Chains A and B, each alone.
Chain A
């Protein structure tokens, strides 16, 4: 019940980590807007949240499209009247390509969807948070943004950019009582790594961390719920790693 009467927007909320975050917000009694490019899946998550006894709505959004983001924000305000929490989860991992083979289009789409989305979404929700003198913004970065990964320079650059964006925005909006933080998940048990690795490879990788457990989407959701709660009122501009100890920064 930590988020009772709060309104949360979760982009990328239809599957994987975003879905776990949206469901977690619902369990904490927040009103949840599940925003995703995949409208049907978003509706399904919203319905599951309603089954938990919380209010929820689903809205289709392309987070790299200015008009679409504005429409999504309007939908959230029209439905719930305010927004207290924005969780920027939407992003892409592919295509996999070495720098010399990467097309300009693929570079642009990765940067736009992974970090441009943060700019567009925050720009829509910050003004009302300023007026409320409170707000929580949590963005998904990645350990790859710290340590890099071959054939994913575009992804690494986009996630490092998220961390820089979060720190700068935290400084801008801190005086208005808004906190902005980033989360760097390690390799989690979602569909994303399965897009380019066999099931055997994925499981071997998931089991290779120091802690003897597999990183599940719910493990990422927990710290995000903490950062969204009143308990984290004095935390801003930080990047927290959730990776079963595979990487310590």
Chain B
């Protein structure tokens, strides 16, 4: 699929850990159709997995009656992924993960999700709206 046209795909995923893989596989399939390289698809899979896990665990507190909405927009030369939860969004004071601090026990060993998303994607934005919940917006460009 050459992305001459803007295509939008939406998935609604119940907030249950493990089901984020549905979003990961769908995103990877679309990226492959768009012509992304295997390396970039791997980056995308990790970023989408982490954003969905954050939405399920921290946004929706694993409440299975809530949903994670995944919007995939294939546009000319880029893929945008928006992941919405129904929770309170990303707190502003998240500690930047530091491997030395973690190994020394000064930080919890977990907490790499946002770091990985920001490291692997070309554009990332976190937002929260009290009425609609949190959203992670990320863009990956076909040609860097």
Do the two chains bind?
no
